[in-house]
Structure 1
Amino acid sequence: MKTIHKMYEHLNWANQRILETLQNVEDENQQTKNLFAHILYAEQVWITRLEGADSSQLPIWLEGDIAVCARLIKQNEEKFKTLLSEITNTDLDHLKSYTNSKGLEFKSSIRDILTHVVLHGQYHRGQINSRLRIDGIEPINLDFITFVR
């Protein structure tokens, strides 16, 4: 659990750095904001699934709004902290059943879900950095090693 906690500290740090950058960019690219909102909405979906609730009707892709993103970051961080404080090492291999947005049912281990959320966000933050570079903006260093230093 120690590694998972550290990965979520990094996730929150990286989300905050993206938010701060997008708040300070004058010519914001809507596609960049949409990717960022997608990360945060997807986190919300997985939180809901980990809580055992139905996530099938939650949005995954909505137009990005920086004020909404700022609110989602805080909500998701608080909910993940609560969830992670309740999960033990022995819980990690328990399966969670859920239905995706297409109505398909799946079972995944808590470990795999938590890992997916971290990797999914990092993938899309990389896309955001690519779009920032195209727009002439210096990409944000979101490397895990930078975070732990």
Structure 2
Amino acid sequence: MKERFTRLYEYNIWANNLFVDVLKSNVYKNEKITTLFHHIGNAQLIWLDRITHAEENVPGVWTEGSLPDAIKLVNRSSQRWLDFIYSQEEYEEVIKYKNSKGEAYENRISDILTHVANHGTHHRGQLATLLREEEITPPVSDFIFYVRT
């Protein structure tokens, strides 16, 4: 299981970096693009903190910042997830946490790992749509393109 999640989160870093390159090299007017990219990093840190309780300053779900701030956040949170996977031995452990509304839940670490990766993919798809609306060609970030590299 470790190998599978390692590959998935290496893909996550690869795909995020493709979007970083496009966002840094283009001018766009729609502020939702930066907000959405920032959200990917926010969510990654929030979910990691739910498992590890290691983050002192967990952002809000929709905390915003500049593009350089968003890039730093996404890079840092993506690498922290990969580091977590490298160090993790038990993926079926059930953890208890509260969501952003304060509601209590329990989920397996493996399910959270899958959710976080899918969450990033979902929002990168939204980013691709917003970039096309700005007449900017989004990167091709499908998983199969990653495994072909």
Distance in 1 between the 2:28 and 2:77 partners? 27
| Mapping of residues 1-149 of structure 1, within 5 Å | 1-52=2-53, 58-88=59-89, 91-149=90-148
Segment drifting more, 43-52 vs 118-127: 43-52
Code of the residue aligned with 2:25 in structure 1: it is N
Per-residue deviation, residues 100-145 of structure 1 (Å, max 9, x unmatched): 1111011110000000000001001000001111111112100111
Aligned-partner SS, 1:17: helix
Offset of residue 54 of structure 1: 8.1
Distance in 2 between the 1:3 and 1:22 partners? 29
Q: Is the 8 A contact 2:95 2:108 kept in 1?
A: yes
Structure 1 alignment gaps of length 5 or more: none
Q: Is the 8 A contact 1:38 1:61 kept in 2?
A: yes
Distance in 2 between the 1:27 and 1:86 partners? 39
Distance in 2 between the 1:52 and 1:117 partners? 16
Aligned-partner SS, 2:128: helix
Q: If the length of structure 1 is used for normalisation, what is the TM-score?
A: 0.90
Per-residue deviation, residues 11-30 of structure 1 (Å, max 9, x unmatched): 00111111111111122420
Code of the residue aligned with 1:44 in structure 2: it is L
Offset of residue 81 of structure 1: 2.5
Offset of residue 73 of structure 1: 2.6
Q: Is the 8 A contact 2:41 2:78 kept in 1?
A: no
Q: How many residues align?
A: 146
Offset of residue 71 of structure 1: 1.3
Cα separation, partners in 2 of 1:48 and 1:41, compared to 1, 3 Å: same
The CA RMSD measured in Å over matched residues stands at 1.7
**Dislocated runs of 4+, deviation >2 Å:** 52-55
Aligned-partner SS, 2:106: strand
Q: If the length of structure 2 is used for normalisation, what is the TM-score?
A: 0.90
